[in-house]
Amino acid sequence: MAKIKVGVLGATGNVGQRFIQALDNHPWFEISALAASERSAGKKYGEVADWKIGTEIPEAVEDIEVVTIDPKKIDADIVFSALPADLAKTIEPAFAQEGFVVASNAASFRMEEDIPLAIPEVNPDHLGLIDVQKKNRKWDGCIITNPNCSTIMMAVTLKPLLQFGIESINVATMQAISGAGYNGIYAMSIYDNVVPYIGGEEEKIQSETLKIFGDFDGSKVKNAPFKVSASCHRVPVIDGHTEAVWATLAKNPKPEDVRDAFLKFDPGLSHLPTEPKHPIIVRDEPDRPQPRLDRDMGNGMSVSVGRIREGIRYIALGHNTIRGAAGASVLNAELLKEKGYL
Ligand SMILES: NC(=O)C1=CN([C@@H]2O[C@H](COP(=O)(O)OP(=O)(O)OC[C@H]3O[C@@H](n4cnc5c(N)ncnc54)[C@H](OP(=O)(O)O)[C@@H]3O)[C@@H](O)[C@H]2O)C=CC1
Ligand SMILES: N[C@@H](CC(=O)OP(=O)(O)O)C(=O)O
């Protein structure tokens, strides 16, 4: 079977590199175009990427000539967007207008009524918004988004808790510095320090979670009825967001019931190449999960949970630029293919 051609917008950046890693030797997808700014265009990817991942830069992309972000210069069926949000706001619709499927990491369109904010294990039915979107916007392509990196870790763990009746969620995040981008925060600001503010993050976690768990009736999503309250903090960890979650659940389950629900969670997606064997991994040690030890589980796609206590309280952890960004987008694209949108 011929592979589906894919492009990466913002291919040279932090998340762009994670896309290239996620797409290397992918059984369904093949990189056909890499795009970035004027600074990089016209040069070989290997020369301009400033590769920051601790594995070899994939041979298949080293010699690809980077192009500017222009639909006419890209031959692909789907483009993955790792663009800064202000740029994504104008560029992603231009690609959808030209018939491309756009799988976006950027925050720009996540909360639009007719654009799916999708996690395959949590709300696959929201893909139906694509048909609404195409009709509303009269474009041949479409935009699908994945959530903010802190939202997604928590949302994956909340899915098996739905059976207990979620009333409210409080979450305190400890977010890695890679979430701010490679040049996002000075060493002098974060070394030996914790910064108790990440602009816009708390609002995103609160609003995105309610959309993700909202009810899709075939034309729109009605937000979930529970409450979410977040407090976000930047900590001196390179990769891996850790979150302390307090879940108030109507059925008042015991910690063992919640542990059991996490262990039994099986979204039935094992046929998708990027889906990890265990989307949720339960750690029983009293001092896990930890970013250095657990962020790479399931090739960075598993969310690890631990310290499940009365309350219900627990810790969730996942790789912010893989499960929280590029990996999530590639998984969405795999679901799109399975559902016939590609
Ligand atoms: N799902 C999530 O929660 C996460 C989302 N993100 C989002 O992903 C996106 C990328 O983040 P990150 O990889 O850290 O950012 P980087 O700054 O590392 O990369 C930005 C990329 O965009 C390109 N770019 C920048 N300016 C322009 C321009 N004017 N025209 C064309 N291309 C341009 C850069 O190209 P060049 O190298 O040529 O300058 C580079 O490829 C952001 O929207 C970020 O918010 C990030 C982390 C997690
Ligand atoms: N704000 C996130 C990363 C990010 O870019 O998120 P968003 O795409 O929602 O702006 C972090 O700092 O870890």
Where the chain has pLDDT below 70, the residues are: none
Q: Is 121 annotated as a binding residue?
A: no
In three-state form (DSSP H/G/I as H, E/B as E, the rest C), the secondary structure along the chain is CCCEEEEEECCCCHHHHHHHHHHCCCCCEEEEEEEECCCCCCCEHHHHCCCCCCCCCCHHHHCCECEECCHHHCCCCEEEECCCHHHHHHHHHHHHHCCCEEEECCCCCCCCCCCCECCCCCCHHHHHHHHHHHHHHCCCCEEEECCCHHHHHHHHHHHHHHHHCEEEEEEEEEECHHHHCCCCCCHHHHCCCCECCCCCHHHHHHHHHHHHCCEECCCCEECCCCEEEEEEEECCCCCCEEEEEEEEECCCCCHHHHHHHHHHCCCCCCCCCCCCCCCEEEECCCCCCCHHHHCCHHHHCCEEEEEEECCCEEEEEECCCHHHHHHHHHHHHHHHHHCCCC
319 is catalytic: no
Q: Is 234 annotated as a binding residue?
A: yes
* Ligand 2 and 242: CB distance under 6 A: no
Where along the chain do its domains lie? Answer: 4-148+325-338, 149-320
Testing ligand 2's pocket by substitution, the residue of 149, 182, 185 carrying the most ligand atoms inside 8 A of its CB is 149
* Ligand 2 and 21: CB distance under 6 A: no
In three-state form (DSSP H/G/I as H, E/B as E, the rest C), the secondary structure along 228-263 is EEEEEEECCCCCCEEEEEEEEECCCCCHHHHHHHHH
241 is catalytic: yes
C-beta neighbour count of 75 within 10 angstroms: 9
Tokens 């051609």, residue?
Answer: 5
Quote the pLDDT of residue 183.
Answer: 85
Quote the pLDDT of residue 297.
Answer: 98
What is the average pLDDT score of the chain? 97
Quote the pLDDT of residue 182.
Answer: 82
Quote the pLDDT of residue 1.
Answer: 78
* Ligand 2 and 244: CB distance under 6 A: no
What dihedral do alpha carbons 249, 229, 323, 101 form, nearest 10°? 110
- For 40-74, how does the pLDDT look when each residue is reduced to its tens digit (9 = 90+)? 999 999 999 999 999 999 999 999 999 999 999 99
- For 94-130, how does the pLDDT look when each residue is reduced to its tens digit (9 = 90+)? 999 999 999 999 999 999 999 999 999 999 999 999 9
CATH superfamily for 149-320 is: Dihydrodipicolinate Reductase; domain 2 (3.30.360.10)
CATH T-level fold of 4-148+325-338: Rossmann fold (3.40.50)
Quote the pLDDT of residue 44.
Answer: 98
Distance CA 299, CA 291 (A): 14
